[in-house]
Chain A
Amino acid sequence: MEHELLKGLSSAEVKQVLNLGTRRNVPARTTLFQLGDRADSLFLIERGRVKLTLPMRVRGGEEDVFVEERAPGQAVGWSALIPPYRFTLTATAALLDAEVIALPREALLKYFSGNPAAAYKIALNLAVVVGHRLQLFQTMWLREMQRTVEVRSA
């Protein structure tokens, strides 16, 4: 499987990076990480789907509302590479069990310092992932704002 964060790396580099992590099984509907937790690892999804949610106040209670779903080959938890290293969403395995590779930040940073060429490619891949997320939610935000404006000026 090709992971979005490891695109452009040689097979040897991919193997080196994956060897930094540990495989973790996440049973269906169980939490991988919670909003506000310390983000010490980022996760590459090997199998299953991971739902990302945010808490929203609904009818006086707090509910986890769907934000995004990530599939095999994609990454979740890149807050582990971005200060202040706190998760800003909650990640839960969807209807089926998921399997992820947990890559600890410390191990990754150590690998990056010794392999700057691989680190550069991973950083570019991460920029693509983060940039796409930004553009996606910027577009969704504008569409919601447009609806709000239409309702208020009706």
Chain B
Amino acid sequence: MEMFLMALCITVFGVGVAAAAFGAATRSEHSDSPERPQPQLPLVKAIAPTRFFSDTVPAPPAMPTRQVPIEVLLLQIENHVRMEQAAAESFLESPTQAKLHSKTNSPFVN
């Protein structure tokens, strides 16, 4: 019985010491004194002024990072314009809604 009580006292004492040590270790993180200067926080990014329609329009899709040479890009634009002109000519010959909105195979927009 005495042994049991001694073991119990030692255990309770140990738990108390552990709790005190834990409290001392974590106190500096939670209890900053009011005199201590506050660290400079990064400024919050200013809110951009509301623009016409800008709140309802999703951001455009990101451009591919791999860029084609400028000559190739200009050729793509030229081919696209030629294809669009051909589509427009076709529409003007016999105007229908289907021809007006016919899909293009132009790689510039696909």
Q: Indicate whether B11 reaches chain A with its CB closer than 8 angstroms.
A: no
Q: Indicate whether A1 reaches chain B with its CB closer than 8 angstroms.
A: no
In the complex, the chain A residue whose C-beta lies closest to that of B74 is A63
Alpha-carbon separation in the docked complex, A135 to B89 (Å): 9
- Bitwise, B82-101 to A at CB < 8 A (1) or not (0) is 10110111011000000011
Alpha-carbon separation in the docked complex, A146 to B84 (Å): 13
Q: Indicate whether A66 reaches chain B with its CB closer than 8 angstroms.
A: yes
- Bitwise, A128-154 to B at CB < 8 A (1) or not (0) is 000010011101101110110001100
Q: Indicate whether A96 reaches chain B with its CB closer than 8 angstroms.
A: no
- With A63-B70, A135-B92, A136-B89 in contact, is A143–B100 under 8 Å at CB? yes
- Bitwise, A108-135 to B at CB < 8 A (1) or not (0) is 0000000000000000000000001001
In the complex, the chain A residue whose C-beta lies closest to that of B104 is A143
In the complex, the chain A residue whose C-beta lies closest to that of B88 is A139
Q: Are A59 and B85 in contact (CB under 8 A)?
A: no
Query: What's the least CB distance linking A55 to chain B, in Å?
Result: 12
Alpha-carbon separation in the docked complex, A66 to B60 (Å): 25
Partner of B60, one of A59, A61, A151: A151
Alpha-carbon separation in the docked complex, A147 to B58 (Å): 15
Query: What's the least CB distance linking A100 to chain B, in Å?
Result: 22
Q: Are B58 and A152 in contact (CB under 8 A)?
A: yes
Q: Indicate whether A82 reaches chain B with its CB closer than 8 angstroms.
A: no
Q: Are B100 and A139 in contact (CB under 8 A)?
A: yes
Which residues on the A side are within 8 Å of B91 (C-beta)? 139
Query: What's the least CB distance linking B19 to chain A, in Å?
Result: 59
Which residues on the A side are within 8 Å of B67 (C-beta)? 59
Residues of A71-103 contacting chain B, CB below 8 A? none
In the complex, the chain B residue whose C-beta lies closest to that of A56 is B77
Partner of A65, one of B74, B82, B100: B74
Which residues on the A side are within 8 Å of B81 (C-beta)? 65-68, 140
Q: Are A142 and B70 in contact (CB under 8 A)?
A: no
Which residues on the B side are within 8 Å of A132 (C-beta)? 92
Residues of B32-86 contacting chain A, CB below 8 A? 57-58, 60-61, 67, 70, 73-74, 77-78, 81-82, 84-85
Q: Indicate whether A58 reaches chain B with its CB closer than 8 angstroms.
A: yes
Instruction: Spell out B's residues near A (CB within 8 Å).
Output: 57-58, 60-61, 67, 70, 73-74, 77-78, 81-82, 84-85, 87-89, 91-92, 100-101, 104, 109
